[in-house]
A and B are shown apart, each in its own frame.
Chain A
Amino acid sequence: MTEATGGIEMEEDTSGKVKKFLYVNRKAPYGTIYALESLEVVLIAAAFDQDVSLAFLDDGVYQVVKGQHTKGIDVKNFSPTYRALEGYDIEKLYVEKESMEARGLKESDFIVPMKIIGAQEMAGLMQSQDVVLSF
């Protein structure tokens, strides 16, 4: 891959700067690639030692539901990756209560322990972040 920056001056070093990153996941895990590519960002971002949180809203709550079987659609099952997040020090995982309940889900349906918060609290969480990436 080309490393040339085309005359653009090199940016300053980012080491030591810690910002609050929130990844907002709103889409079902399969059917579109958003969930998988969001997870890829989260894993890369872990190397930057930032303050990371993940939020699951709307159909995004299905991303963290356990017991996914993807053989029938011939797509890689990336569910186990959510269990690996702890190893990357990513432990702040939130599910929006309203989205969960609207889909008939409960806390015990999730693949990893999730913090269940209401829409109001979710808004506060978003407000408190430096960078919000929505996929």
Chain B
Amino acid sequence: MKFGILINEGPYTHQASDTAYLFAKAAIEKGHKIHRVFFYHDGVYNSSRLTEPPQDDRHIINRWQKLAKDHHIDLVVCVAAALRRGIKDENLQEGFRISGLGQLIESGIQSDRLVTFGD
């Protein structure tokens, strides 16, 4: 099955990004395809290159980056939500791209299931 993922909450404060990551990993292991992860609302903070968690904690941003690289997942950050929160190309982690909300709708049209993670 082809999945699209929507993440609406920022890293660390909220479990949404963690759960989405574990879901994506499990789905891939089962042979499904994750074609895109779309970051919206505070979810855009999941793309900040400036994130530096303590050494003994998981690195949520780099974890997405690696999963995307290994499995050709398109990581898209909403431009309007990002600019509102100070996320720009300058501080965007490699492997993510900033684009419009149309990418979310397209994901809904193209995937078999669009799964939302957030409140």
Residues of A bordering B, CB below 8 Å: 1-9, 11-12, 14, 17, 19, 21, 33-34, 37, 40-41, 44-45, 47-48, 50, 130-131, 133-135
Contact = CB atoms under 8 A, between A and B. Distances in A.
Given A33-B41, A48-B109, 10 more contacts: A1-B99, A4-B97, A14-B109, A37-B41, A37-B81, A41-B40, A41-B101, A41-B104, A131-B108, A133-B108
Given A37-B40, A48-B105, A2 B98 contact: yes
A1 B98 contact: yes
Contacts of A14: 106, 109-110
A40 B101 contact: yes
B109 A50 contact: yes
Interface of B: 6, 8, 35, 40-41, 68, 72-74, 79-81, 89, 92, 95, 97-102, 104-106, 108-110, 114, 116, 118
The SS class assigned to the B binding surface is: mixed
The SS class assigned to the A binding surface is: loop
Contact of A45 (B73, B101, B110, B114): B101
A6 B95 CA distance: 7
Contact of A1 (B68, B89, B95, B118): B89
Contacts of B99: 1, 3
A3 B99 CA distance: 7
B72 A8 contact: yes
8 contacts: A1-B99, A2-B98, A33-B41, A34-B8, A41-B104, A41-B105, A44-B102, A45-B101
